[in-house]
Amino acid sequence: MTLGILTDCRIWGDDYDLSGTTNKVEIGGSCEAKKITNFNSGRYDEYLAGLKEVEVNVSGFFEGTTSDAFADEFLGARVPVTIAVDDAAGSIAYMGGLNVLSAPREFAVGEVGVLNFGAKGAGATMPGIVRGALLYPKTTITTTTTSTGIQYGAIGSGRTIWAAVHVFGATSGDTLDVKIQSDDNSGFTSATDRITFTQFAAATGSEVKSLAAPITDDYWRIVATVAGNGSESFSLGVFFGSAPTT
Amino acid sequence: MALQVITLGYCRLGGSFDLHAYANKISLEFEAEDLNVTVFGDGWGDHMAGLKNGKLNVSGFNDFGDNLCDEVMYGFWEAGVNIAAAVRPSSASISTSNPEYQLAGVVPLTWTPLGADVGQVSPLSISWPTSGAVVRDVTP
């Protein structure tokens, strides 16, 4: 067992990188206990796990162009959020379509402004939270880029693949196309396109897409195609994971 | 009487996952419902023990390594299926001084993979209710 001290957690919300203004993050999954105690229970209560719920709380600092702008834009709205325990390809990460429900600001004389936000998983069009990994850490690219890839593993039947791309920066007049490929070897000698995101045309933002499993390939990578007027620059990061199909 | 300092706490989930490898505290709580059956004529309150239930509490540290704590515990919560559990004071063999509490099921109601400040280790903390019978086993 090797424990790690959390120093490089990543917190992405849509096209905002909140990592630099956050110093604590909590992801809490829970479900209701449904009592099914009956006359055959042998005098012991019996329960089943009911509906699941996810709550995310992020604590940090007020910063006008990131945390505050994010809270202002998304309070009361649903937003894709990716939280990773480290800033490296393959780091464990969680992604959810979260409803931002609270964003209190606090200002005290002599102190750095505080901004926290609380959110809950929406669960309507995607699971409240999906466990996976950073397929591609936040990187600024200026040319078409193919990532090295990670050996995430095959995705079995009964599960759905969920992927999210966050585009943090874009240049005017340029386009970015991102797709996820898989293969059965680290050299990607026979890569297959699995998920293709909508083109980002000179714009930042995010998108979540899904794909039904099973897929036996265990190596996964992205291909980010950049085109434009010759001075293209895009900043992006990609989450990849899976959850039981609902 | 043989008191013991706990250094090798044991908690196995699902018959194969040793949660104690990530834990620094394990507690089992058992209780029975307090049924008040006092009637007219009773000079004192009259009670009976009703249905029994329990709670497994484990705290420690979460490990995000492949196939380790976070992956397994998240899998339990994600599946939402009750899990058998075995808890005893020491990982030594079961004995009269090292009884094992065998829980027919614990309900994976919560999993908090991340809950730490920058510079800290993410904690492990569960408080899952039991479901079904509990057996105290002292047979090696």
Please give the average per-residue pLDDT across A188-214, as a whole number.
96
Please give the average per-residue pLDDT across A176-182, as a whole number.
98
Task: Indicate whether A1 pLDDT > 80.
Answer: no
Residue B36 pairs in a beta bridge with B47
Confidence band, pLDDT 50/70/90 cuts, at residue A150: very high
| Neighboring chain B residues of A53 at a CB cutoff of 8 Å | none
Residue A214 DSSP symbol: P
Please give the average per-residue pLDDT across A62-85, as a whole number.
92
Confidence band, pLDDT 50/70/90 cuts, at residue A123: low
B114–A27 CB contact, under 8 Å:
yes
> Which residue ranges of chain B lie beneath pLDDT 70?
1-2
A24–B133 CB contact, under 8 Å:
no
Residue B104, pLDDT score: 96
Kindly identify which residue of chain A lies nearest to residue B135, measuring between CA atoms: A44
| Residues in CB range of A228: below 8 A, 6 or more apart | A171, A173, A174, A175, A202
Contact call for residues B19 and B13 (beta carbons, < 8 A): yes
Closest Cα in chain B, distance from residue A172 (Å): 36
B115–A29 CB contact, under 8 Å:
no
> How is A80-140 classified by DSSP, letter by letter?
EEEEESSSSTT-EEEEEEEEEEE--EE--TTS--EEEEEEEE--SSS-S-EEEEEEEEEEE
In angstroms, the CA B68 to CA B8 distance is 19
Number of continuous H segments (helices) and E segments (strands) in chain B: 1, 9
Task: Indicate whether A45 pLDDT > 80.
Answer: yes
CB pairs under 8 A between A and B: 123
Contact call for residues A102 and A146 (beta carbons, < 8 A): no
Q: Tell me if residue A197 falls in helix, strand or coil.
A: coil
Residue B27 pairs in a beta bridge with B57
| Interface with chain A: mutation pick from B102, B118, B128, highest number of A CBs within 10 Å | B118
Which H or E run contains B95? none
pLDDT in tens, A3-27: 778 889 999 999 999 999 999 999 9
B107–A52 CB contact, under 8 Å:
no
A24–B112 CB contact, under 8 Å:
no
| Neighboring chain B residues of A23 at a CB cutoff of 8 Å | 117-118
Please give the average per-residue pLDDT across A81-107, as a whole number.
93
- pLDDT winner (highest mean) among A28-37, A53-62, A133-142: A133-142
In angstroms, the CA A148 to CA A14 distance is 24
Kindly identify which residue of chain B lies nearest to residue A11, measuring between CA atoms: B114
In angstroms, the CA A172 to CA A230 distance is 11
B111–A4 CB contact, under 8 Å:
no
Task: Indicate whether A210 pLDDT > 90.
Answer: yes
Residue B46, pLDDT score: 87
Q: Which one of A7, A32, A131 has the shortest CB-CB distance to B74?
A: A131
**Residues of chain B in Cβ contact (below 8 Å) with chain A:** 21-22, 51-53, 61, 63-65, 68-71, 74, 77-82, 104-105, 107-122, 129-134
Kindly identify which residue of chain B lies nearest to residue A131, measuring between CA atoms: B74
Closest Cα in chain A, distance from residue B121 (Å): 5
